[in-house]
Amino acid sequence: MQIKKVGVIGAGQMGNGIAHVCALAGYDVGLYDVSKERIEAGLATINGNLARRVRSGKLSEAERDATLSRIKAVPAYEGFGDYDLVIESAVEDEQVKRKIYQALCPHLKPECLVGSNTSSISITRLAAATDRPEKFMGIHFMNPVPVMELVELIRGIATDEATFSVAKEFASSLKKTIAVSEDFPAFIVNRILLPMINEAIYTLYEGVGGVEAIDTAMKLGARHPMGPLELADFIGLDTCLSVMQVLHDGLADSKYRPCPLLVKYVEAGWLGRKTNRGFYDYRGETPIPTR
């Protein structure tokens, strides 16, 4: 099966990045979100990111225009009837994702593949909420999508070989490197990364160090390009908490208990960069630690 048209559900930071790289690779892309404003904001972000590439000489103006012309807003699921692959990248909430598949699938052609960009949720369980578990896969991009080289591919128990090989070819066509993970909570990257971030939040919670000390320590002491708290803000604290909850529930081990301070920040609506406040306050010129 040849992929020509790619649908993206969810126009947040990951969805607009996925739309960006797919259009840049020559696919026709349809972008949907439950919120019309988010689609507009997503398209504006893609525009801004491509403009930056033009300014730095990595892309010609003609390539930018051609890329933008390949992306359109799709206002309703009916619009995905002739798509070959739809990638769901809505919020990290299993119930929301299940409802999306139930509403979306009746409008798809039978051979259309469905992928989820979930950071942690069981691909087998999500697949079971669709009418096509054998054509369903985890296609997990990294943030920011246009910059990060990796795509994790995760098969559910029912995913067939044809789907897996099309997904592999598709990820390679985006110039991404593939790591295959088994279907376990949070897969490979987040099974390792998120407990580290959660531990950094415990380190803050227990007063071992302040926000800046923790980030500086890990940047200069472990050569991490970003501090763990800075990275948590970048990922989104709601997503971090959801991943820790999936690890805690799925592996039933207390070592994955989400830090109460992370829970508190999410309850306050301090979700990191996307709400302008998390472990840092981004409303001024330079980020200021909130603890």
Ligand X SMILES: NC(=O)c1ccc[n+]([C@@H]2O[C@H](COP(=O)([O-])OP(=O)(O)OC[C@H]3O[C@@H](n4cnc5c(N)ncnc54)[C@H](O)[C@@H]3O)[C@@H](O)[C@H]2O)c1
In the chain, % helix, strand, coil (3-state, to 5) comes to 50, 15, 35
DSSP 272: B
Residues 6+ apart with CB under 8 A from 110: 132
219 belongs to an annotated ligand binding site: no
| Distance in angstroms (rounded) separating the CA atoms of residues 226 and 239 | 18
Crossing angle (nearest 10°) for helices 260-267 and 189-205? 90
97 belongs to an annotated ligand binding site: yes
Element (H, E) at 46: helix 36-55
Q: Which of 6, 7, 8, 12 binds ligand X (CB under 6 A)?
A: 12
26 belongs to an annotated ligand binding site: no
Q: Which of 3, 6, 8, 10 binds ligand X (CB under 6 A)?
A: 10
| Distance in angstroms (rounded) separating the CA atoms of residues 114 and 127 | 9
Considering only the C-alpha atoms of the chain, give the largest distance between any 2 of them, rounded to a whole number of Å: 55
Find the part of the chain contacting ligand X (CB under 6 A) among 7-15, 196-204, 208-216, 246-254.
7-15
Residues in the chain: 291
Q: Which residue is nearest to ligand X (CB)?
A: 12
Find the part of the chain contacting ligand X (CB under 6 A) among 20-28, 131-139, 170-178, 233-241.
233-241
Element (H, E) at 124: helix 123-128
The yes or no reply on residue 154 touching ligand X (CB under 6 A) is no
Could you give the C-alpha distances from 274 to 30, 45, 82, 178, in angstroms and in order?
23, 13, 33, 28
Active centre residues (catalytic) = 119, 140, 152, 190
Could you give the C-alpha distances from 263 to 154, 205, 234, 258, in angstroms and in order?
28, 11, 17, 7
The yes or no reply on residue 217 touching ligand X (CB under 6 A) is no
The yes or no reply on residue 45 touching ligand X (CB under 6 A) is no
12 belongs to an annotated ligand binding site: yes
The yes or no reply on residue 183 touching ligand X (CB under 6 A) is no
For the chain, helix (H) and strand (E) counts, in that order, are 11, 10
The yes or no reply on residue 239 touching ligand X (CB under 6 A) is yes
181 belongs to an annotated ligand binding site: no
The yes or no reply on residue 198 touching ligand X (CB under 6 A) is no
Q: What's the min distance (Å) between Cβ of 141 and ligand X?
A: 6
CB 85 within 8 A of CB 113: yes
Q: Which of 34, 147, 157, 288 binds ligand X (CB under 6 A)?
A: 34
Q: Which of 67, 118, 122, 159 binds ligand X (CB under 6 A)?
A: 118
Q: Which of 70, 74, 84, 119 binds ligand X (CB under 6 A)?
A: 119
Q: Which of 3, 6, 8, 9 binds ligand X (CB under 6 A)?
A: 9
CB nearer to ligand X: pick between 192 and 220: 192
14 belongs to an annotated ligand binding site: yes
Give the binding site for ligand X (CB under 6 A): 9-15, 33-35, 38, 89-92, 96, 100, 117-119, 140-141, 143, 235-236, 239, 274
Annotated binding site for NAD(+): 10-15, 33, 92, 97, 119, 143, 274
